[in-house]
DNA sequence: TGCGATATTGGTCACTAATCCAATAGACTG
DNA sequence: CAGTCTATTGGATTAGTGACCAATATCGCA
């Protein structure tokens, strides 16, 4: 009875909603937030555009939700629960200085610009910033307790490190990679400087993490 | 015999072309690069969209040219010719840490993101980066000669300072201003650190420049 | 098993965009 | 002053967007 061209599959509302959001997040990471259109999401899901409207009456809300989802998922990867403070920081810095967070960095840059036109996105973005800052501040406080970091104001150090990350991230869309040492090691340099670590201390830890992650990095490289 | 609604004014090609480009640059600074449309430029100039196409057959070329023009004009303001190296650096940092370069900062963020979709824009942007780096590197070398800066690799310090500027600039579209000291003084802190200056030395110079520019700053503030 | 609720479809509408082209009108030249 | 050149117009075309809606097929539930 069903026409061969269209067999409609009915899913539970929550399931379909999550599926749409997840696919939108994939588009956000791979192609950019402005490529999240009703049609683009619908095509990837093999569904009609109207269905996306049904779950997200305002397309902008889907874009914001997709950004939040993508960023939230990556955050868990960026801040591992185990390890000493230096190792955890090294993990974060390694991801940021290496090319393991390429898509994430582009997404942040993307969203930071789009904030200009969307107050709602700006609010969501600032909330995500706040969550990231909480994570890193807490990491820094752990390091102060163990004596690894010597810093007066942990939030100040946290802010500096994130500004450094965003500064490096600003160049993510450049075609010719910038290989200058001052650039490629900017985040670890700023972190050492801000956390009162000995020169090269963090960089050594970062190199260890990166070395141990060599397979994962190679896989990421191949994906680009 | 001319209809009352449209009186066409014929201008010299070079004149009209410059007029279009200038207006596009205004739009870029005020509203963003993606708002440079044939219609938007035509409306502001009181002409038909087709005329814009006539001078810029590909709209993307106009966008790129507008970005280059806006950034080039601002560069002359950012790097004054006179004054000692510390004062010139203080001028630059003052503009970046204050709100005197709001539109320019948003434009750079805008362009950095749009690079993702336009290799031609990416190339133009990287060229402008290069010009900025040349200016600052030369300023740093002047300061090394006078003994104001003590630094091994002037390009390294230049790179660090620009990454710091871009890092702070990433937050330009945030709605709630970020007032933490570590943020508002990040550029001068990084500059002092990278140029081997005494702590607070540059910040003092920046405060002097900002104080002397208080009228100009107030005017800029009113414009927002 | 049948019914009601609703997930899903297919299509339309209004909008904005770039691009192209023939016709027109302004300005310079001889 | 007439004539040529071309800057400029007005409209058509194509394409992509979000939003909306009636019809329909499918599921959960009584």
Could you tell me the distance in Å between the CA of residue B52 and the C1' of nucleotide D1? 34
Share of chain A above pLDDT 90, in %: 83
Under the banding of pLDDT at 50, 70 and 90, the label for residue B66 is very high
User: What is the structure's pLDDT at A197?
Assistant: 96
Q: Under a CB-based contact definition with an 8 Å cutoff, are residues B186 and B164 in contact? A: yes
Query: Stretch A87-96: mean pLDDT, rounded?
Result: 95
Is the CB of B58 within 7 Å of strand C?
A: yes
Query: Stretch B32-46: mean pLDDT, rounded?
Result: 97
Query: Stretch B31-36: mean pLDDT, rounded?
Result: 98
B5 touches chain A (CB under 8 A): no
Contact residues, chain B, for A31 at CB < 8 Å: none
Tokens standing for residue B135: 């200016």
Under the banding of pLDDT at 50, 70 and 90, the label for residue B8 is confident
State how far the alpha carbon of A61 is from the alpha carbons of A18, A58, A155, A205, B113, in Å. Answer: 14, 6, 31, 41, 21
The pLDDT of residue B219 is above 70 = no
Q: Mapped to the 3 state alphabet, what secondary structure does chain B carry?
A: CCCCCCCCCCCCHHHHHHHHHHHHHHHHHHHCHHHCCHHHHHHHHCCCHHHHHHHCCCHHHHHHHHHHHHHHHHHHHHCCCCCCHHHHHHHHHHHHHCCCCHHHHHHHHHHHHHCCCCHHHHHHHHHHHHHHHHHHHHHHHHHHHHCCCCCCCHHHHHHHHHHHHHHHHCCCCCCCCCCCHHHHCHHHHHHHHHHCCCCCHHHHHHHHHHHHCHHHHHHHHHCC
Separation between Cα atoms, residue A143 and residue A139, nearest integer Å: 6
Is the CB of A16 within 7 Å of strand C?
A: yes
Which of A126, A156, A190 is nearest residue B174 as measured by Cβ atoms?
A126
Q: Under a CB-based contact definition with an 8 Å cutoff, are residues A74 and A52 in contact? A: no
Under the banding of pLDDT at 50, 70 and 90, the label for residue A8 is confident
If you average pLDDT over every residue of chain A, what do you get? Answer: 92
Under the banding of pLDDT at 50, 70 and 90, the label for residue A213 is low
Task: Name residues 154-183 of chain B within 8 A of A (Cβ).
Answer: 155-157, 159-160, 163-171, 173-176, 178, 180-183
Q: Could you tell me which residue, B208 or A167, shows the higher pLDDT?
A: A167
Separation between Cα atoms, residue B101 and residue B107, nearest integer Å: 10
User: What is the structure's pLDDT at A222?
Assistant: 47
Could you tell me the distance in Å between the CA of residue A50 and the C1' of nucleotide D20? 9
The pLDDT of residue A217 is above 70 = no
Under the banding of pLDDT at 50, 70 and 90, the label for residue A41 is very high
Q: How many CB atoms lie within 10 A of CB A170?
A: 24
User: What is the structure's pLDDT at B217?
Assistant: 46
User: What is the structure's pLDDT at B223?
Assistant: 43
The pLDDT of residue B127 is above 80 = yes
Model confidence pLDDT, tens digit, residues B139-167 = 999 999 999 999 999 999 999 999 999 99
- Residue A155: exposure state from Cβ atoms within 10 A (0-12, 13-18, ≥19): middle
Which of A112, A183, A186 is nearest residue B170 as measured by Cβ atoms?
A112
Which of B32, B157, B178 is nearest residue A116 as measured by Cβ atoms?
B32
Contact residues, chain A, for B178 at CB < 8 Å: 159
A193 touches chain B (CB under 8 A): yes
Share of chain A above pLDDT 70, in %: 92
Could you tell me the distance in Å between the CA of residue A177 and the C1' of nucleotide C25? 53
B37, closest nucleotide (Cα–C1')? C17
If you average pLDDT over every residue of chain B, what do you get? Answer: 91
Under the banding of pLDDT at 50, 70 and 90, the label for residue B213 is low
Q: Could you tell me which residue, B221 or B23, shows the higher pLDDT?
A: B23
Contact residues, chain A, for B157 at CB < 8 Å: 182
Q: How many CB atoms lie within 10 A of CB B60?
A: 14
Q: Under a CB-based contact definition with an 8 Å cutoff, are residues B206 and B93 in contact? A: yes
User: What is the structure's pLDDT at B164?
Assistant: 98
Is the CB of A17 within 7 Å of strand C?
A: no
Model confidence pLDDT, tens digit, residues A168-195 = 999 999 999 889 999 999 999 999 999 9
Hey, is A100 helix, strand or coil? coil
User: What is the structure's pLDDT at B99?
Assistant: 84
User: What is the structure's pLDDT at A209?
Assistant: 82
Separation between Cα atoms, residue B106 and residue B30, nearest integer Å: 9
Q: Under a CB-based contact definition with an 8 Å cutoff, are residues B116 and A110 in contact? A: yes
Is the CB of A13 within 7 Å of strand C?
A: yes
Model confidence pLDDT, tens digit, residues B72-120 = 999 999 999 889 999 999 999 999 998 889 999 999 999 999 999 999 9
Q: Under a CB-based contact definition with an 8 Å cutoff, are residues B126 and A174 in contact? A: yes
Under the banding of pLDDT at 50, 70 and 90, the label for residue A223 is very low
A66-80, A160-174, A187-201, B209-223: which has the minimum mean pLDDT?
A: B209-223
User: What is the structure's pLDDT at A1?
Assistant: 33
Q: Could you tell me which residue, A99 or A196, shows the higher pLDDT?
A: A196
Which letter does DSSP use for residue A79 in this model? S
Protein-covered nucleotides of chain D (CB closer than 7 Å) are 6-11, 16-22, 25-28
Which of B126, B165, B182 is nearest residue A159 as measured by Cβ atoms?
B182
CB spacing of B155 vs A186 below 8 angstroms: no
User: What is the structure's pLDDT at A212?
Assistant: 64
Model confidence pLDDT, tens digit, residues B49-60 = 999 999 999 999
Separation between Cα atoms, residue A160 and residue A190, nearest integer Å: 7
CB spacing of B122 vs A156 below 8 angstroms: no
Q: Under a CB-based contact definition with an 8 Å cutoff, are residues A202 and A97 in contact? A: no
User: What is the structure's pLDDT at A61?
Assistant: 98
User: What is the structure's pLDDT at A207?
Assistant: 87
Q: Could you tell me which residue, B214 or A121, shows the higher pLDDT?
A: A121
């Amino acid at each position: 009875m069903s026409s061969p061209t269209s067999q409609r599959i009915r899913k539970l509302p929550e399931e379909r909603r999550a599926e749409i959001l997840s696919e939108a997040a994939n588009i956000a990471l791979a192609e950019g937030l402005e490529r999240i259109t009703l049609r683009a999401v619908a095509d990837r899901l093999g569904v009609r555009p109207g269905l996306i409207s049904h779950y997200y009456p305002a397309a902008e809300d889907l874009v914001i939700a997709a950004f939040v989802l993508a960023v939230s998922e990556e955050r868990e990867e960026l801040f591992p629960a185990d390890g000493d403070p230096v190792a955890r920081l090294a993990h974060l810095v390694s991801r940021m200085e290496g090319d393991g967070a390429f898509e994430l960095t582009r997404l942040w840059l993307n969203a930071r610009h789009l904030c200009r036109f969307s107050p709602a996105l700006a609010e969501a973005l600032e909330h995500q910033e706040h969550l990231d800052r909480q994570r890193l501040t807490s990491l820094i406080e752990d390091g102060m307790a163990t004596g690894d970091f010597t810093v007066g104001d942990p939030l100040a150090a946290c802010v500096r490190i994130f500004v450094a990350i965003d500064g490096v991230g600003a160049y993510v869309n450049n075609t010719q990679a910038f290989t200058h040492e001052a650039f490629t090691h900017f985040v670890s340099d700023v972190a050492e400087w801000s956390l009162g670590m000995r020169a090269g201390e963090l960089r050594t830890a970062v190199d260890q993490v990166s070395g141990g992650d060599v397979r994962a990095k190679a896989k990421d490289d191949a994906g680009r």
